[in-house]
Copies of this chain bind each other. A is one copy, B any other.
C-alpha cells in the first residue's frame, strides 16, 4: 500500500473522527490535561466551558449596538460571503479572492448583518463580516474586552504564553470561512449563534489539493464589488519572482468531496463539530478548518478566539 495512504488510513483507524468532548459539566481541563492534547495534536470541545462569561450571558443585538454605538469597525465585504477563499475569477480560473475592507459605523454594520439574516435585503446583496484578526478585541473592541476572560488560564499556564491575539468575529450565516490552516494554537469560544467546524488533521495535507492561486481583491466601485488582481509591491517585484502573486491554498472542499480531488481526498474523514453559545473548542496548530455559521434568533453569530504562537513547534 502507498505509505501516504497507509498513514492517513491508520490515523483515522486509531483516532476515529469524533472530536473528544471533555466532561459535560463545563469544567476546563487542567494545564497538564490540556498539554496532553497539545502533545497529541488533537482537538477537543468543552461544552458550556464559557457559559458563565459575561459576554455569553449578556451580549445581544441591542446590547452590542448600545455599547458600541460610537464605534467604527473594519468590515470585510464580499458579494457572496466567501472571503479569503478559492473563487472563480474573471477568466474562469479558480483564484484566491480577498474581501474588500472598509470602516463602518458599528450600529449600521450590525443592522445590515441582522437584516440580511432575516431576509430583509435583496437576494444577492453583499455579505459583511467583522473578522479582522489583528487582536481586535484588545484594540478595536477594547470597550467590550472586559466581558470575556483576558486569557485562557489552562492554555496560558501550559504553553507559558500570553495570548498573541484575541479576536472578535461578528457576522451572519452568509459568511463561510474556506478550509485553511494557521500556525497557531487556537481556542474558540462561541458567544451567540453557532459555528460549524469541519476539521482535518495536518497529515491530510495530501488530501486537500493545495494549489497556487492568483490573489485577487474585491474593490467597491460605485454600487458593486469588482475583482482586481493583486499588485505585487515593488519590493516583491524586485526580488525577481517573476511577478508570481500566487498563494498556495486548498481547493478540495470536504462539503463537495467529489470535486477537485487528489488521489488521497477520499481517505480523509472530516471531523465535524458545532459550537453552541458558551462552548469552547481547542483547535491545534496546523489543523485544517472550514467554518460556517448559524445566526442566533436575533440574527447574528458572534465568537471570540485566542491565538498562541508556538515558535518551537513540532518539526516532524
Which of A's residues lie within 8 Å of B, judged by CB? 7, 10-11, 14-15, 31-32, 35-36, 38-42, 157-160, 201-203, 286, 311-316
Q: Which residues of B contact A312 (CB under 8 A)?
A: 14-15, 40, 42
Q: Which residues of B contact A316 (CB under 8 A)?
A: 41, 201-203, 286, 314, 316
CA distance A204 to B158 in the complex (A): 28
CA distance A182 to B14 in the complex (A): 19
Q: Which residues of B contact A31 (CB under 8 A)?
A: 32
Is the Cβ of A36 less than 8 Å from the Cβ of B315?
Answer: no
Is the Cβ of B11 less than 8 Å from the Cβ of A158?
Answer: no
What does DSSP make chain A's interface, helix, strand, loop or mixed?
Answer: helix
Residue of A158, A160, A313, A314 contacting most chain B CB atoms (<10 Å): A314
Q: Among the listed B40, B202, B203, B311, which residue makes an inter-chain contact with A14, where contact means beta carbons less than 8 Å apart?
A: B311
25 contacts between A and B (CB under 8 A): A7-B315, A11-B315, A14-B311, A14-B312, A15-B312, A32-B32, A32-B35, A35-B35, A35-B36, A35-B38, A35-B39, A35-B158, A36-B158, A38-B39, A39-B39, A39-B314, A40-B312, A40-B313, A40-B314, A41-B314, A41-B316, A201-B315, A201-B316, A202-B316, A314-B314
Q: Which residues of B contact A203 (CB under 8 A)?
A: 315-316
> Chain B residue with minimal CB distance to A311?
B14
Q: Which residues of B contact A159 (CB under 8 A)?
A: 36
CA distance A160 to B39 in the complex (A): 13
CA distance A14 to B311 in the complex (A): 8
Q: Which residues of B contact A42 (CB under 8 A)?
A: 312
Q: Among the listed B11, B36, B286, which residue makes an inter-chain contact with A160, where contact means beta carbons less than 8 Å apart?
A: B36
